[in-house]
Amino acid sequence: MTSSQLPQLIARIERWPIAGAFTISRGAKTEAITVVAEVSQGGHTGRGECVPYARYGETPEATLAALLSMREALHNGLGREALQAALPAGAARNALDCALIDLEARIGGRRAWELLGRPAPRPCTTAFTISLGTPKAMAAATAKAAHRPLLKIKLGGNGDGKRIAAVRKQAPESELIVDANEAWSPANLEQNLAACAAAGVTLVEQPLPAGQDELLARIRRPVAVCADESVHDRASLEGLRARYDAVNIKLDKSGGLTEALAMADTAQALGFEIMVGCMVATSLSMAPAMLLTPQARFVDLDGPLLLATDRDDGLRYDGSTVYPPDAALWG
């Protein structure tokens, strides 16, 4: 096989300004830093994007290095299945996994969901995120988004009862889901869950720190609770059944669409509801995750809506309705 017929990998770090700031319990940021992998072969190029997450010890530089370390393996025939063992679950594997799926779909002239034997994604409603702030600031942000049918509210611990009450007052018709990002404690867990129940919240995401969430199995949960930082791939599911009602599947955690789809099937079999989540990133990160939406009760793929600008051929958003990707973008 000539060098032109061998898979060629390039990868790079990209920076995308956020519209304003994005604030959660761990802090605020004004840009999304992504790493893009491109695999070319036979005149076709497949792309994948990931977001390295410091919460899991990832950096853009280390993620880029992990991707570039796979060049020789790709030349030697590394495919998606072998990739699952070649790299650990995480951002780097996600970008390469999605790039390989995109490439395979383009070479075969099929859409990614056809290639993978999955139902075609349809337009669906995505959550829209309200960043953490004072009750007054969050109420003001919610008032501007109150027309959206599903809002995801970032909370942060003390004072969350006032925050969620202020949000509900401004969005009486919206379905509310909450993300505490591990910021609650055993001391305020039941109080905050009660405040969410009083506000008609449908789902509370990751209230306690991962590894310190045993209390969830011992209390009455008045609102469904969803694992995020506590769940990564299929291997982490079984031990969560007593503590959580739902799981948030993110491609950057699972290490790509290949594992995420298998994880969704396993989660459903275990009785979990499914949320499809994302990091703040461009449409290239959201596009593969759209293949999970037919199995999802909650879709949270609003990353591009939080950016100052998205990439060319980005996903189409009509209000809170997100549409499947065009082939020009991915898959």
* Catalytic site positions: 154, 250
The residue type of 139 is A
Q: Say how far apart CA 187 and CA 295 lie, in whole Å.
A: 35
- In order of 72, 80, 151, 277, the CA distances from 91 in angstroms are 19, 15, 26, 14
* Cβ atoms < 10 Å from Cβ of 260: 27
Q: How many Cβ atoms are within 10 Å of 224's Cβ, its own excluded?
A: 17
Q: Dihedral (C-alpha) 253, 322, 308, 46: value to the nearest 10 degrees?
A: 60
Cβ pair 166, 137 in contact under 8 A: no
- Nearest to 115, CA basis, from 80, 86, 85: 80
Distances from the Cα of 263 to the Cα of 65, 257, 329, angstroms? 27, 9, 25
